[in-house]
Amino acid sequence: MPRLLILSRDAEDYRKILASADLPDLIIENSPSKDCEIIFGAPSMIPGVLNDLPNLRWVQSMWAGVEPLLIPSLRKDYVLTNARGVFGGLMSEYVIGYLLAHERKVFSRRQAQLSKTWDKTLTGTLHGKTIGLLGVGSIGEEVASAAKFFGMNVRGFTRSSETSPDVDRYYHHGQLSEFATGLDYLVSILPDTKETHKIVNTEVLKTLPSHAIFINVGRGTSLDEAALVDALNQNRIAGAVLDVFEQEPLPPNHPFWDAKNLIMTFHTSAPSFPEDIAKIFIENYRLYLAGKALKYQVDFEKGY
Amino acid sequence: MPRLLILSRDAEDYRKILASADLPDLIIENSPSKDCEIIFGAPSMIPGVLNDLPNLRWVQSMWAGVEPLLIPSLRKDYVLTNARGVFGGLMSEYVIGYLLAHERKVFSRRQAQLSKTWDKTLTGTLHGKTIGLLGVGSIGEEVASAAKFFGMNVRGFTRSSETSPDVDRYYHHGQLSEFATGLDYLVSILPDTKETHKIVNTEVLKTLPSHAIFINVGRGTSLDEAALVDALNQNRIAGAVLDVFEQEPLPPNHPFWDAKNLIMTFHTSAPSFPEDIAKIFIENYRLYLAGKALKYQVDFEKGY
């Protein structure tokens, strides 16, 4: 009878969903115990209990990003699986939503309304624009698909994979400058790894056209934040939309709060809805019981 | 040699595009003359010259809506064609853009940023929501397609046609209340006709759930404006996004300016870009020269 520990601020929701799923043989523990072999949790809450679970065999992360579990001093003698397949649609909504807010002048027209002005300023369109995706994994593929639906040209920058039929052209290591040249929108969906550290730097931002918009829905570490502040305040790019930051919550004195044409959304682009995340656990639990390979395994070396 | 009169605030742009298209036999006139047989223009500018063109045979409207030409006292002894196929993508961007602005709390999160607040309020999603389209012609079909792309359930209300594969269920005359029941979003794309006059009235608004959003990208006449003001100010629906109005520009004392949860965009949802509209004229001009039936003919009786 496998024993499971749930670690989440929504633990009660998860417990109810799993109970109603009537999973065979599963015992849900209330606190860490030496017999626990499975954790289903938010990565930030897991490091503190890792040493209390000598029989741990499998951790199912409730998030896509698992950085808290990659810290060198932590044990890695278990199978780590993350949440995939549920964030792509939410991320696509976010990216398309904010690109449309930009093209359709949603904020300036709202201001016009508040000042009772009939504002006929011409709007732009996504159709025919060029979007560059930094990182095209399972989430990036869905963003590419949405971009293609709206008639955009789609470029992808990846380490090596070229899996999306919606990417018109792929770029790899050494081609970052070529990739960024002429983009209308640059979108980072990169995980936090050594290779992605501050990959969006002064040089990349200088390569972008002055009308370009940068969106970060990956991880804050992939951006050189000071470089972005300069690029925005000097009007070298037209704007940025950031959902993730090096330090979260953003410190009160951070220059982002006063940067020009910057929109921030506080790590809300792709919330983990318990109904969606529980489905992933349930699917993997059935594989676990059957002794089969689990889905969405994370490579501790790569970090994703 | 057919003589053409162009009537538009962008007449110079259109003249250049047509000149570079090198159309056979076409003479572009600078002012109305009795030999003119074609008008390519904005409908609002056409009634004033109709009586000066005894040889008029064809009018190509630059807009989708042709209400100014339907006035009973005006002559209707010519072929009227309108602009189609170019607004669907723009309208889809508008509808999806404002639905995402609502679900993603774009305005309230912007306010949070301005007050330097880390706002983790949970966002919603389009996925699984139900949208009802009042009118599913060539524009409505593209909105239906975009709604389906984002995983919505799609209802369509039409006079009789059932042409879109993206509409899950069609409703017709007598089924308006059933159509509106349980909708998350109600979107009107209706033209201005007798049948559509104030079709969105108190009863329809009362049928909608209190969390519903109403969007009007069709014509202002299809809405009972006073009924909407009441519904909004009494929180009977959660909000509205209006691009069109009974009177445009909206009078300064109109109650819409102070209505709750109302967003207005001043008839900008689907601008007529000359490059797109000129293509329609060019295609039809070649048919005209060849003596073939023109595309996108308007039925003066139906009004579209």
Total length of chain B: 304
In A, residues 233-262, which contact B (CB 8 Å cutoff)? Answer: 249-250, 252, 257
B303 has pLDDT over 90 = no
pLDDT of residue A274: 93
Tens-digit pLDDT profile for residues B105-135? 999 999 999 999 999 999 999 999 999 999 9
Per-residue pLDDT tens for B7-46? 999 999 999 999 999 899 999 998 999 999 999 999 999 9
Residue A110 has what pLDDT?
97
Above pLDDT 90, what percent of chain A? 94
Measured between beta carbons, the chain B residues lying within 8 angstroms of A96 are 96, 100
Which residues of chain B make contact with A149, given a CB cutoff of 8 A? 146, 149
pLDDT (tens digit per residue) in B57-70: 999 999 999 999 99
Distance in Å, alpha carbon of A193 to nearest chain B alpha carbon = 25
What is the model's pLDDT at position A276? 93
Does residue B55 register a pLDDT over 90? Answer: yes
> Are B257 and A118 in contact (CB < 8 Å)?
no
- At A148, the pLDDT band (50, 70, 90 cuts) reads very high
Nearest to A271 among B100, B123, B149 (CB): B123
pLDDT at A183: 98
Does A275 participate in catalysis according to the annotation? no
How high is the pLDDT of residue B80?
98
Residue A295's pLDDT is 97
Tell me whether B120 touches chain A (CB under 8 Å). yes
Of the residues B219, B246, B275, B283, only one is catalytic, namely: B219
Q: One of A84, A197, A254, A267 is an active-site residue; which one? A: A267
How far apart CA B235 and CA B238 sit, in angstroms, is 6
Domains of chain A: 3-85+272-289 (3.40.50.720), 87-264 (3.40.50.720)
A231 pLDDT above the threshold of 90: yes
- Report the b/e string of B162-178 with b at 16+ CB within 10 A: eebebbbebbeeeebee
Confidence band of B272 (pLDDT split at 50, 70, 90) = confident
> At residue A174, does pLDDT exceed 90?
yes
Say whether pLDDT at B304 is over 90.
no
Query: Cβ–Cβ of B100/A96 closer than 8 Å?
Result: yes
- Active site includes A219? yes
Active site residue B127: no
Q: What is the mean pLDDT of chain B?
A: 96
Q: What is the mean pLDDT of residues B77-88?
A: 95
pLDDT digits (tens, 9 = 90+) for A247-287: 999 999 999 999 999 999 999 999 889 999 999 999 999 99
Query: Rounded to 5 degrees, what angle do the CA atoms B156, B157, B159 make?
Result: 130
| Per-residue model confidence as pLDDT tens digits over B194-249 | 899 999 999 999 999 999 999 999 999 999 999 999 999 999 999 999 999 999 99
Residue A272: predicted pLDDT? 87
**Which of A266, A272, A279 is the best residue to mutate to test the B interface, defined by the most B CB atoms within 10 Å of its own CB?**
A266
Predicted confidence at residue A30, as pLDDT, reads 87
Backbone angles phi, psi at B143, to 5 degrees: -65, -40
Return the residue in A87, A92, A99, A100 with the most chain B beta carbons within 10 A, the one to mutate for interface testing: A100
Chain A nearest-CA distance from B65, in A, is 18
Rounded to whole angstroms, how far apart are CA atoms A215 and A134? 10
Q: Which one of B106, B112, B250 has the shortest CB-CB distance to A97?
A: B106
Whether A279 contacts chain B with CB within 8 A: no
What pLDDT was estimated at residue B302? 87
Is the confidence at residue A230, as pLDDT, over 90? yes
Q: Is A108's Cβ below 8 Å from some Cβ in B? A: no
| pLDDT tier, B140 (very low <50, low <70, confident <90, very high otherwise) | very high
Task: Answer yes or no: is pLDDT of B278 > 90.
Answer: yes
- Is the pLDDT at A190 greater than 90? The verdict is yes
Question: Across chain A, what does the average pLDDT equal?
Answer: 96
Average pLDDT for residues B291-302, to the nearest whole number?
Answer: 95
User: What is the per-residue pLDDT for B107?
Assistant: 97
Query: What does R_g of chain B's alpha carbons equal in angstroms?
Result: 21
Give A-chain residues touching B90 at CB under 8 angstroms: 125, 127
CA separation for the pair B264, B223 (Å, rounded): 14
User: Rounded to two decimals, what is the model's pTM?
Assistant: 0.91
The phi, psi pair for B12, rounded to 5°, reads -65, -40
User: Residues 6 or more apart from B232 whose CB is under 8 A from it?
Assistant: B239, B240, B259, B260, B261, B262
Q: Which of B159, B248, B275, B286 is catalytic?
A: B248
Q: Which chain A residues have a beta carbon less than 8 Å from that of B142?
A: none
Of B110, B127, B146, the CB nearest to A263: B110
Q: Which residues in A lie closer than 8 A to residue B259 (C-beta atoms)?
A: none
Burial of B142 (0-12, 13-18, 19+ CB in 10 A): buried
Residue identified by tokens 């979260």 is A248
Q: Per-residue confidence at B262, pLDDT binned at 50, 70, 90?
A: very high
pLDDT, mean of residues B72-91:
95
Instruction: For A17-73, write each residue's pLDDT tens digit.
Output: 999 998 999 999 989 999 999 999 999 999 999 999 999 999 999 999 999 999 999
